Amino acid sequence: MGTLKLFISYCHRDEPLVSNFISHIKPLKDNDLVTEWYDRKIETGNEFQKDIDNNLEKADIICLMISHNFLSSTACMKEKDVSLKLRNEKGVRVIPIILSPCSWTEYKVLSKLLAVPTDGNPVTSYSDQNEGWVDVVKWIKCACQTMIQIQNLKIKAEFDTFLNSTELLEKSHKEKETLLLKDIFVFPKLKYYDDTEKSHKYDSAKFATEVLLYGKIIIAGENQSGKTTLCKELFRIYRNLNFVPVYLEDDNKYLGNPFNKIEKAFSEQYEVAEFEKIDKTRIVPIVDNFHLAKYQEKYIEQYKEFPNQVLIVDDIFGLNIKNQTLIQDYSKFKIREFTALERNELIQKWIQIKENNQIQINSNHLQQSTDEKTEIVENSLGIAFGKGIMPSYPFFILTLLSAQEIQKPLDTEITSQGYCYQALIYLYLRKEGVKNDQIDIYVNFLTELAFWLYNKSSNGLNQEELDEFLKYYKNNFNLPISIMNISKVLSNVNICKFDSFNQYHFCYDYLYYFFIAKYLSEHVEDKKTLINNILSNLHKDENAYITIFIAHHTKSNYILDELLLNAEILFEKYKPATLSTDELSFFDGHEKQIVKAVLPSYEHNVNVERNNLLNHKSAVEDSIQEKQEVQNIDTEAQESELIRNIRLSIKTVEVMGLVIKNRSGSLDLKKLEYIFEQGLNVHLRIITSFLELIQNEQSEQEMVEFLTERIDYIIKQNSDNKEPNIDKIKKLAKEIYWNLNFGVLHGFLTKSIHSLGSNNLLNIAQSMAEKENNPAVFIVNQGIRMWYAKNIRIDEIASRIKQKDFSLTAKRLMQFKVAEHCILHKIEFQKLKEIESKLQLSPNRLLAEKSKQQSE
C-alpha cells in the first residue's frame, strides 16, 4: 500500500513545538511511511476550511497536539470531535501527543486513548525535549508499521472466489456464465433492537460508515434470508476500513479452541502473514451460524478482547446462554424481508445484466421489463394476492426470476409459474444430494403429507399423529428410503421439520399449498365436493392460494368451469357498469368538484416518482409485516356480508386473471375471451351496485353530515377559539364525498387492469373493447395497453372521449390513467405537449403558476 496520510491538528500558538515534531518525523517521511499535512500547506486562494476538512477526512492517522492552548481553542476542539468520529466510523488511528502540562485527562474520550510520549508525559517536561520527540516518533512508527502490515494483507484467491460467489445461484442467469455477488447484491433492511428490545428499522447499507459504532454485533435471520451473503459484505466493509475480518463457519458445532479456529481460518483466507503479529484489536471474527455452537458462552467469553465482532444466528433471543450479561454489550439486528423498494433494485440489477442494449434503444424498456418481472415475482411470492406465501428474500426472488426464464418441459401440464415453484423444490432436494430417480419418492411423500394435514385441518402433526401418517403411507406406497433419511433431508433443506412446539409442519406456506393442490389436481373426480367448497370460498386466502396452485398443476376444464359458474353469480342482480353518459348523469353533475388529473412537468424525474410509489408500497408492506408479527387476527369473522362478498368477488377475479395469464398460450381463444369478459363483468357489476348506493340522496346526505361533523370537530380542536364557517365545511364535506366516490370507481378500474391484464392478453382486451364498445371497457383496455405494452394511443383516446356516450366522469377517469402513465414513464417533451393539447390536460407547471398568481 502507499504512504500513510498523517494530519496534524494543533493550535497556532503551539506552532514552534509543531515545527519540532515535523522535523523529528523526517525519517518516517524519507522511508515512505508517512506524509504529513497541516494548515500551513494550504495554497493561496484555496478555501481554508474546506481544505482542512478534506484532508482531515482523508487522513489515516490524526495527531492531536494537546496543550492548554489546544483545549481552549474552539476550532481545535471541533477538529478533535471530528477526529474521534472518524475513529469510530472508519477506524482512523487518533494519537494524542501531549505537548505541555494541561488537564487533558478531564476529557474521558481523550483519556481512553493511548497518549504519547510514554505514559502521557508532556514533551516539554523532558529536560531535553528531543528525547520526548524521539519517544513520540517511536510510537508513531509502531502505529504506522501495524497499519501498513494490515493494509498489505492480501486475500487468497480461493477465499476471494467464495466472497464473490452466489453459491446455488451462480449458474442461474442464462446471459452470464457465472453470476457474481456484486452483480445482484442489494443491502437488506434490518431490525435494530434497542436496550428495551424495541425494534427500529435500519438500512444495512449504513454499515459501510457506521459498522464500527456498533462494535459487537449479533445478526439474526431465517433460513435463506441472506445471512451468509451479509457476512461476505461485512467482510468487505471491515477490510476496506483496514481491519482484519476473519470469517468462521463450522458444521461441527464449533468444537475446539476458539482462538485456534480464528488462527486457522486466518491462514486459509489471507496470504503469507503471521497471525501473532496482527494487532488483536483490529481482528474482527465473523461467526456464521453461531447458534449451532455447542459452547456459546465459551466463545463469547474468549472473544471479549475483540472490540469488533459479528455473530450470525437464527434467533437473537434463543441463544443458549445462561449468563445474559455476556451479550448485553452486543448490538442486536434481524434481517427483514425485502419490501417493494429492495425487490425493485434487485430486479433491475437482474435485468441490466442482459438488457442494457434494449434499455439504450428504448427509454422505457427498463420500466417495462421491471414492471413485467415485478408482477411475476409478486404473484409468485403471493404479495400481490394476500399476506404472502413465500418469504421475500433475495434467494427466492432470484430463483423465481431464473426459473421463469428457463423453458419448462413441453410435455407437462404445469404452468410456467407453477414450474418456478417446482424448480425451487427440486433445487432444494438436489442441494441435499437427492438423485433424480428419487425425487418422485419425495414429491409423492410430500403430496400425501400435505393433504393429510389439510384433511386434519391442522398446521402440523405431533409425533403420535406423524406416526399415524407414516403407517398409512407405508401401507399404501413403496418407500425404499428410510424415514430417518427422508426426515433429515426435508429438515436440512427447510421443506418440513419439527418446530419449537414439536409439531411437524411445512416450513413455508407455498410448499404446503403447492402439494395440496398437486394432490387435488390428481384426484379431481374423487374430490369434486371438496374442490367446489374451496372455489366457493375464495375470500379465504388459503382457498384462493390452493385454487391458484390447482390451476398451475392441471389443465382440467372442470376447475375453470366451476370458477366461471361462481363468477357469474357474484352480484348477479346488477348489470355490468358502462360509465356512459346516461348511467352517470347524476355523477357528472358533480364533475367540477372532482380533482383534476395533472400531467407531470416537462423536467420531471421518472425514477423519483417511481421511488415515491415504491416507498409508499414498502411502508404498507412494513405495516402488514409488523401486524403479522405482533398478532395474527382472523378478520373474516368480523366482516359484514357485503364486505365478504366484495372480497370473494375480487379474489375470484384475481384467480381467473392468473389462470388466463398463465394459460394464455394453451387455452383456446374463445375460452380466453369468455374468462376475461366474466372476470371484468364481476368488477363492473360491483361498480353498478356502488353507483346505486351513492345515487340515493339519503345516503349522500348521511355521509355528508358525518363528514361535516368530523371536519368541524377537527377544526375546533386545532383553531384558536374561532367559530368555523359551517357553510364552507359542508361544501368541503361534499367535495370530499364525491372525490371518495370517484376514487372507488378509479380503484375498481385499476384493479381490473392489473387483475386481468398481461402483455400476452392485449388482443383479448382489445376484442372485448370492440365487442362492448362502452366507456368502462374502453378505459380498461387502454389501461392494459399503457401498463403492459407502454403504449398510449392518444388519437384513439382523444376521439373516443369526445363521443356523446362518454360521460364527463369517464373522461376524467381516462385522463387520470393517462396522467398516471406519464408520471411513471419517460415521455418526450413533444409527446407531452401533444397529450396536453388533445386530452385537455394541464401540466404541473401551469397549475403551479396559476396557484402562485392567485396567492399574490
Alpha-helical (H) ranges within 355-393 are 356-361, 365-381
Centroid of chain to Cα 17: 55
The answer to whether the 4-151 and 188-336 domains have the same CATH topology is yes
> Would you state the pLDDT for residue 726?
85
Distance CA 33, CA 25 (A): 10
Distance CA 322, CA 211 (A): 27
If DSSP codes are grouped into helix, strand and coil, which group holds residue 498? strand
Alpha-helical (H) ranges within 631-668 are 641-662
Give the list of residues 6+ apart from residue 589 with CB closer than 8 angstroms, or none: none
Task: With CA atoms as reference, report the closest residue to 382 among 508, 216, 229, 269.
Answer: 508
> Would you state the pLDDT for residue 315?
77
Q: Provide the residue count of the chain.
A: 856
The bridge status of strand 93-98 relative to strand 199-203 is unpaired
Task: With CA atoms as reference, report the closest residue to 378 among 21, 618, 153.
Answer: 618
Contact 169, 179 (CB under 8 A): yes
CB atoms inside a 10 Å sphere around CB 386: 16
If DSSP codes are grouped into helix, strand and coil, which group holds residue 362? coil
Distance CA 466, CA 474 (A): 12
> CA dist 476 to 437, 445, 483, 517, 524, Å?
20, 11, 15, 20, 20
Backbone angles phi, psi at 584, to 5 degrees: -110, 25
Contact 783, 757 (CB under 8 A): yes
Backbone angles phi, psi at 777, to 5 degrees: -70, -35
CB atoms inside a 10 Å sphere around CB 504: 20
Question: At residue 353, what is the residue type?
Answer: I
Contact 148, 1 (CB under 8 A): yes
> Would you state the pLDDT for residue 246?
96
Question: At residue 112, what is the residue type?
Answer: K
> Would you state the pLDDT for residue 266?
94
CA atoms within 13 A on the CB side of 657: 27
What is the CATH number assigned to the segment(s) 188-336?
Answer: 3.40.50.300
Task: Indicate the burial class of 642 (C-beta count within 10 angstroms; 0-12, 13-18, 19 or more).
Answer: exposed
Contact 184, 329 (CB under 8 A): no
If DSSP codes are grouped into helix, strand and coil, which group holds residue 378? helix
pLDDT block averages, 10 residues each, the chain of length 856 = 88 96 95 93 82 93 97 95 92 95 93 93 96 96 91 93 86 77 94 87 94 94 92 96 94 85 93 85 94 86 92 77 75 94 94 73 81 90 79 91 65 65 87 90 96 92 94 94 93 90 92 94 93 92 90 85 92 96 95 91 88 92 72 56 87 92 89 96 96 89 89 77 79 93 96 95 96 97 96 96 96 96 92 92 58 44
The C-alpha cell at 819 is: 396522467
Containing H/E element for 62?
A: strand 61-66
Task: With CA atoms as reference, report the closest residue to 62 among 42, 89, 87.
Answer: 87
∠ CA 309-313-316 to the nearest 5 degrees?
Answer: 95
> Would you state the pLDDT for residue 173?
73
For the chain, the domains span 4-151, 188-336, 438-554, 585-611+640-855
> Would you state the pLDDT for residue 855?
43
Task: Give the pLDDT confidence of 746-777 residue by residue, as tens digits.
Answer: 999 999 999 999 999 999 999 999 999 999 99
Centroid of chain to Cα 463: 37
> Would you state the pLDDT for residue 856?
44
Tell me which fold the domain 4-151 belongs to.
Answer: Rossmann fold (3.40.50)
